[in-house]
Structure 1
């Protein structure tokens, strides 16, 4: 079982992404979160292999700050930052905060699938 945590406050986008991922990757288990404390609680109990993190969460929570905290607690989790804006500055700040990948929300789902596939492949290599 490959565990993925979706940290996204846009319900419609989150549902679309979750359904697409579950259809594409049959033994993928997903959990969802929208806020900082729930995310860190879920990370501790669920121990995700992959976290897909929105850069701008509701109530001013910053996905980058959350990524840094998450990586401190769970360094082996792979974090993909999602953003509506694909700026080089965002990419470099995402890296500085421990994100493994950065992807624009305007990207095709296939691009997100490629990232997920590569993480799944890497996990299998290490086991």
Structure 2
């Protein structure tokens, strides 16, 4: 039996996926979550074989951050990314963080079931329309020695926090400026560091400078 946790910020989407999957022999939906922290709690409690993970969840931890955290603590859990973005940048980053693959939300039901079965068996899955393009793009980047621009993975709010942190604003000042809590600022900073694969504040400042976010030269 393949147990599945569905993670999506839209209740209607979760309900539709649950109805589809519960009707399939050998599948059982063990739980649902609307954002990344809930997803981690569901995985910790239910220990599913597969997590269907939405990428964009603006009201909580996003799919990339949740994928990283889940794989860090539960490496045997297979994560299949659900996304509206036909964008290799997101796919490359998701796979780097431990996802087993990615499928578009508008894919046929049969393709989704195939993808779930595939990742549950420990195999990788790429949606067919993207496989060749992704491989060509990746090989081109390797040949040219170029790395992907992870800045595109940041949300608008995360970009705001990145720029303010790099300019030297304290968490309290950022919270007041953006009208959010200090705890939310800290969460955004953690997401930024994780997505950009940065370890220290000096690295963050250097990154922001190279992206032209500071408005002056170092």
Which protein, 1 or 2, shows the higher relative CO under an 8 Å CA cutoff with sep ≥ 6? Answer: 1
Cα pair distance change 1:62/1:29, threshold 3 Å: closer
Distance 1:16 1:49 in 2: 20
Matched, 1:51 2:14: no
TM-score (norm 1): 0.87
What is the SS of the residue equivalent to 1:58?
coil
CA shift digits 1:40-93 (9 cap, x unpaired):
121111101000000011315210110000000100011000111111111111
Q: Which deviates further from its counterpart, 32-41 or 42-51?
A: 32-41
Structure 1 residue 4 displacement after superposition: 0.5
Per the alignment, residue 74 of structure 1 pairs with 74
What is the SS of the residue equivalent to 2:81?
strand
Unaligned runs of 5+ in 1: 123-127
Matched, 1:97 2:94: no
RMSD over equivalenced CA pairs, Å: 1.8
Per the alignment, residue 211 of structure 2 pairs with none
Count of aligned residue pairs for this structure pair: 123
Richer in strand (by share): 1
Check the 8 A contact 2:51/2:80 in 1, yes or no. Answer: yes
Cα pair distance change 1:93/1:112, threshold 3 Å: same
Per the alignment, residue 87 of structure 1 pairs with 87
Per the alignment, residue 108 of structure 2 pairs with 108
Rg: which structure is higher? 2
